[in-house]
Amino acid sequence: MSDTPGFDFDFAVQAPFRMQPGLRRLAPGTPQLTPAALPQRGVSRHMREKLAVLWAFADDALCSVPGFDARPALDALAAHAAAEHPAAWQVDGARWRCAGLGWSLDADDEPVADADTGWPEIGPFLRQIARPWRRAALLSLAFCEDFAIVDAASGSIPWLAVALPSVWAPAEKVGRPFGEIHAPVADARLIVQAAPQLVKLVTGAERWERFVWTITPHPRLHAHPRRYPPERWAPALLADASGDTLAAQSWWRTERQSFIPVPGTTIVDAGPGQAVFCIGVEVQPLGRALAEPARAQRVHEALASMSEAVLAYRGLGAARAPLLAWLARRAAGDTATA
């Protein structure tokens, strides 16, 4: 099985299932970004979906509170990207270049194509993006991750560039306190109560990561609630007690979330700090993701232990019984399952 880049299955999938911060320090040198476009290797589905979303629904994905200056955080993100993936992304003074797409932004945020190699649609796309958002848009296409800024001074998320949300609307989260953002999440009492400490932690000098997973009936990376079908699995799929037909039309959706400190804003003596919040989404067919019996068993135990509130929040209530039946047989080594 090919894991989501950076997604640690053994750390992320625990039983009994509990909603908790689950933060882990990143070891030095651990990558936080995944190139979505590389020379000679083409582009990922992340880039294709992001381009479609940002072209048609930029206002839903690119959100900021009025007057917020995102440039220090964007500069920190661009420098981090260049150091981590120099073949994919280069920074030369004020010039930022995505090598895989063959396009740069100059000091005036004007798109500049590499001679004879730039993707022809990228120039028109960038030009129709509002100038203050062009650097965020190019970074978004260059990497699989979405980005937000966590600000310790306000305790909020004042800026987001999120094209691939997991059934939440960026415009409804921007500017809101960290704890308030997580308040609607089922069984999230620990996260909400710890919100001030979590914000201070992730905007400090160290790098952190956490993981999220679920099972979904929809294969797209982009899951904005206005474009995400409200219905879950069809009744006919739920009626199959074996879970085979349901599992065959289910996907394993994961997120790896990590934080990049913004130099010059790190908390010192309780001063304000910022971090770039990186959200890496992946979706795989459920049968492929849980091909190994041990993994199917782990997910079976986690799903069986979810509270009714969590099941309802994730839309898994009606699907739990057939999914558990399928997972049990997959865990027992039944290769005939989907």
Mean pLDDT by 10 residues, the chain (338 residues): 69 90 90 87 87 96 97 97 96 96 97 88 95 98 97 93 96 88 62 76 91 95 88 88 95 96 65 87 96 97 94 92 97 76
Q: Are 286 and 217 in contact (CB under 8 A)?
A: no
Q: Are 163 and 54 in contact (CB under 8 A)?
A: yes
109 Cβ partners below 8 Å, 6+ apart?
131, 132, 134, 135
Domain count, the chain: 1
pLDDT at 185: 63
Residue 273: inside a domain: no
Domain hosting 96: range is: 35-144
Q: Where are the alpha helices (DSSP H) in the chain?
A: 9-12, 45-61, 71-84, 122-128, 134-142, 170-173, 178-182, 189-193, 195-202, 235-238, 244-248, 286-289, 293-304, 308-314, 320-331
Residue 39: inside a domain: yes
Residue 50: inside a domain: yes
What is d(CA 194, CA 192) in angstroms, rounded to the nearest whole number? 5
Nearest-10 crossing angle of helices 134-142, 45-61:
150
What's 29's DSSP letter?
A: T
24 Cβ partners below 8 Å, 6+ apart?
11, 208, 209, 210
pLDDT at 162: 98
What is d(CA 140, CA 159) in angstroms, rounded to the nearest whole number? 14
Residue 70: inside a domain: yes
Smallest CA-to-CA distance from 138 within 108, 99, 169, 168 is with: 99
pLDDT at 269: 47
Measure the CA dihedral 258/264/265/266, to 10°.
60
What's the pTM?
A: 0.92
pLDDT at 182: 64
Q: Are 249 and 218 in contact (CB under 8 A)?
A: no
pLDDT at 297: 97
Smallest CA-to-CA distance from 216 within 68, 86, 75, 323 is with: 323
What number of helices (H) and strands (E) belong to the chain?
15, 13
